[in-house]
Structure 1
Amino acid sequence: MSYSVVIPAWNAARTIAETLRSVAAQTVPPAEIIVVDDGSTDETEAVTRQSGVPVRYVRQDNSGPGSATTRGFALARAPFIATVDADDLWLGDKIERQFRRLEEAPQLAAVFTQWRTFRHGEPDDGTGKVTPGWSRTTMLVRSEVALSVGPVIDPPGNRGEMVDWLGRAREDGHQLGMIDEVLALRRILPGSMSYGRDPERDRGYLEVARMAMLRRKLKNAGQG
């Protein structure tokens, strides 16, 4: 099976080379790796090009991680798309295990995995918190499904975009599977978009909940 990798990146010079190496080291290698630079002001482009990993590098004005992900979806050429944030890592057999699950359960539109946290600057020692990774970093999705669900919309604060997108995928009737095994690592990096609680950034989650309620109300009204 063939897959494209989409990596949205914003000021990721500290981490993206390691992320790229974890993608390139998969037991099932990708057909292409697309890095969408969302208007970085650091050395993200230089580090990416010097990483030694062949990539398709695309730059856009800063619009948010959802916008960058959507751009990558449109550019991807393989029948499957895997996504990963530019500061996270994959374990070596992640994609192989996900394709195996898709073969076992062909009704699934996408497969996700558990992930474990580790702190930037420290090696992963296996003791980090493990949770189900309903996230961009763990997703392997059929390309036609990714395009049919539509754009990954950036809410206020640029948090919650994947929560919204996955909610819309479920509302469209797509089945999403979870592998109960750690196959990805989530980096805890101060200053990153997902680090810590931030009232301004967390407004996105409230907006995601509001949009979901509005969609349900419109759907119920249409059925009335």
Structure 2
Amino acid sequence: MRNYGVVIPAFNASGTIGETLRSVAAQTVRPALVIVVDDGSTDDLGSATGGTDLPVRLLRQANAGPGSATTRGFAALSTPLIATLDADDLWLPDKIERQLAHLEKYPATAGVFCHWRNFRNDRPDAPEAETVAGWSRTTMMIRREVAETVGPIVDPPGGRGEMIDWIARAREAGLALDMLDEALALRRIRPGSLSYGRDAARDRGYLEVARLAMLRRARNKAGPG
């Protein structure tokens, strides 16, 4: 089964979305469809999504956060497999092929992630040496039923932590999520992006994610009643 679609949430990403899409086009296994969800951008994102021969569909919504935009993209795809990617990150050419092979080899696995490494804005050819496990949107490939089982990706206050919460909910639902040891994606670090530095207002989302996880554990421990 090699039929997959891609979801890319995007907000004011006209400066990076073209390079991101070119990294999708360079995959050794190409997608059936790429859904780009414009999350209330004020730049000319639509014009920036051209330039490749990918089948790209652009959806637009009022600004609601990357989780909401990703969930909207899930609903627009009918492929049995879904890969996701942030609009300023990149995939290495065999990323999808390696993940498809893993899912074919392990049919009980619901989703697979990979390692990634950082690069500074316009230097994808000079990434930092360290690679880390990327439990993130950019590294994720899931079977369609995962999205249906776990439900929407909820954006916490501040705009950070939505994937931590969603992955935790997937695990709590008993879904098997695997991590490939290979670095198959690049994470762009640039001023103004959600991944750049520490920010007390944005980091509120992590606290909310931790609070929600504790509440779920308490409910599960208490049982029905």
Query: After TM superposition, is the score higher than 0.5?
Result: yes
Gaps of 5+ in 2: none
Distance in structure 2 (CA, Å) of the matches to 1:31 and 1:84: 15
Deviates more, 1:59-68 or 1:121-130: 121-130
Specify whether residues 93 and 159 from structure 1 end up closer, same or farther in structure 2 by C-alpha distance, changes over 3 A only: same
Kept in 2: contact 1:74–1:147 (CA 8 A): no
Deviates more, 1:100-109 or 1:2-11: 100-109
Structure 2 counterpart of 1:27: 28
Distance in structure 1 (CA, Å) of the matches to 2:55 and 2:98: 23
Distance in structure 2 (CA, Å) of the matches to 1:202 and 1:190: 16
Sequence identity, in percent? 64
Kept in 1: contact 2:7–2:73 (CA 8 A): yes
Distance in structure 2 (CA, Å) of the matches to 1:129 and 1:208: 27
Structure 1 counterpart of 2:50: 49
Distance in structure 1 (CA, Å) of the matches to 2:124 and 2:97: 24
With normalisation by structure 1, the TM-score equals 0.96
Distance in structure 1 (CA, Å) of the matches to 2:63 and 2:128: 35
RMSD of aligned residue pairs (Cα, Å): 1.3
Specify whether residues 220 and 149 from structure 1 end up closer, same or farther in structure 2 by C-alpha distance, changes over 3 A only: same
Cα deviation, 1:30-85, whole Å, max 9, x if unaligned, reads 00000000000012121113555431000000000000000001111100000000
Is 1:10 aligned to 2:11, yes or no? yes
Distance in structure 2 (CA, Å) of the matches to 1:119 and 1:142: 32
Gaps of 5+ in 1: none
Structure 1 counterpart of 2:146: 145
- Describe how 1:56-75 pairs up with structure 2 within 5 A: 56-75=57-76
**How far apart are 1:126 and its partner, in Å?**
4.4
**How far apart are 1:106 and its partner, in Å?**
1.4
Structure 2 counterpart of 1:100: 101
With normalisation by structure 2, the TM-score equals 0.96
Kept in 1: contact 2:120–2:127 (CA 8 A): no
Structure 1 counterpart of 2:208: 207
Cα deviation, 1:116-169, whole Å, max 9, x if unaligned, reads 110112242243431100000000000111121000000000100000000000
Kept in 2: contact 1:39–1:59 (CA 8 A): yes
